[in-house]
Amino acid sequence: MRLGAARFVAGETLKEAIEQVRLLNNDGLVVTLDHLGEFVFDEHEAFASTQACLDVLDAIHASGVKSNMSLKMTSLGLDLSKELCMKHMRMILDKARELDNFVRIDMEDYAHIDVTMEIFDELKREYGKHVGLVIQAYLYRTVDDMKRLETEFESMNLRLVKGAYLESPKVAYPDMADVNKNYLKIIEMHLLSGHYSAVASHDDMVINWTKEFVKKHNIPNEQFEFQMLYGVRPETQRELVREGYTMRVYVPYGNDWYGYFSRRIAERPANALFIIKNMFRK
Ligand code: FAD
């Protein structure tokens, strides 16, 4: 952890994570906290992850920090059974509703997308504004998925991302230019739909395009937010706050940081260089 992941992971304990959230809040940033974990194949472990999510919601409430929560359903036993995962999701969403908070379901690899959509649809009907989803621009199916969600539900809070997993060209655009094009298309669609949008990207092209678009179409700041990952472009995050935008930082914490950390390195090999440089710095 000390050899690099600490730049992207806010500690191994919830206490450490809450301290980091408080510091971010002091700079005007809001947060979504994530207890790291994914691809769990053991029932006890899935239950432990569920308990960790409940603890996160309690800690946010008790400390009064400005944060909601993100989670990965494979950490709650999605690969063991849909029913088990739904049982765990309901425990978490009951708590979120009780504490008037919000839970974002991260979107994982393509193999899980259908079951994630099925579960989300059901939970959205039960828990309304307390649950949201992520949509990945690299998938061919994304525009259709979004259209369906926007018309089926009255309020549809979506985080829009490019997509982080290595997918087959049978299901996802292999070329980044096409991903970017589709990304701008879904941001435009969702902003114009009147639903709440979270534009989650570190890409200046995307951020500047979004700023121009909302200005041109008189979309109020209350209808969207920017999101970035903890440790990535921290100065830009604060600049967006100074410009008056809502900027939410995705703050992961916990022991199971390897998969998350590896994706950050794969996305941007320069991150590895940054870490190596910092290893030798006091
Ligand atoms: P990239 O295409 O990675 O980068 C484009 C440009 O951005 C770069 O060329 C550079 O100019 C700039 N840039 C990027 N990083 C840096 C940096 N460190 N320093 C300086 N400039 C930089 N993916 C999923 O599949 N499912 C999810 O649920 C999910 N949730 C996410 C939540 C949040 C809050 C964020 C920010 C991302 C999430 N992602 C998720 C990851 C996402 O899909 C992308 O893989 C990731 O954000 C990289 O794409 P990008 O838009 O940031 O830009």
Q: Rounded to two decimals, what is the model's pTM?
A: 0.93
Q: Which residues form the pocket of ligand 1, taking CB atoms under 6 Å from any ligand atom?
A: 106-107, 134, 136, 161-165, 200-204, 206, 227-229, 232-233, 250, 267-268
7, 33, 113, 162: residue to mutate for ligand 1 pocket, most atoms within 8 A of CB: 162
Question: How many C-beta neighbours within 10 Å does residue 114 have?
Answer: 10
Per-residue pLDDT, 261: 75
- Give the number of the atom of ligand 1 that is nearest the alpha carbon of residue 72: 28
Per-residue pLDDT, 37: 81
| Structural domain count of the chain | 1
Per-residue pLDDT, averaged over 229-255, amounts to 95
Residue with tokens 């209808």: 223
72 is in an annotated binding site: yes
Provide ipTM, 2 decimals.
0.96
- Give the number of the atom of ligand 1 that is nearest the alpha carbon of residue 162: 43
Q: How far is the CA of 203 from the centre of ligand 1 (A)?
A: 7
Per-residue pLDDT, 271: 67
- φ/ψ of 150, rounded to 5, equals -65, -30
Q: Which entry of 34, 104, 145, 159 is annotated as an active-site residue?
A: 159
Per-residue pLDDT, 1: 55
* Distance (Å, whole) CA 261 – CA 117: 26
pLDDT tens track for 27-67: 999 999 999 987 788 999 999 999 999 999 999 999 999 99
- Give the number of the atom of ligand 1 that is nearest the alpha carbon of residue 32: 34
CATH of the domain at 74: 3.20.20.220
Per-residue pLDDT, 4: 66
Cα angle: 211, vertex 179, 142; to 5 degrees: 90
Question: Could you tell me the two tokens for 244?
Answer: 């008056």
Q: Which entry of 34, 79, 104, 106 is annotated as an active-site residue?
A: 106
Element (H, E) at 226: strand 224-229
Domain containing 66 equals 5-279
Per-residue pLDDT, 262: 76
Q: How far apart are the first and last CA of the chain?
A: 16
Amino acid at 106: D
Residue with tokens 């935008």: 245
106 catalytic? Reply is: yes
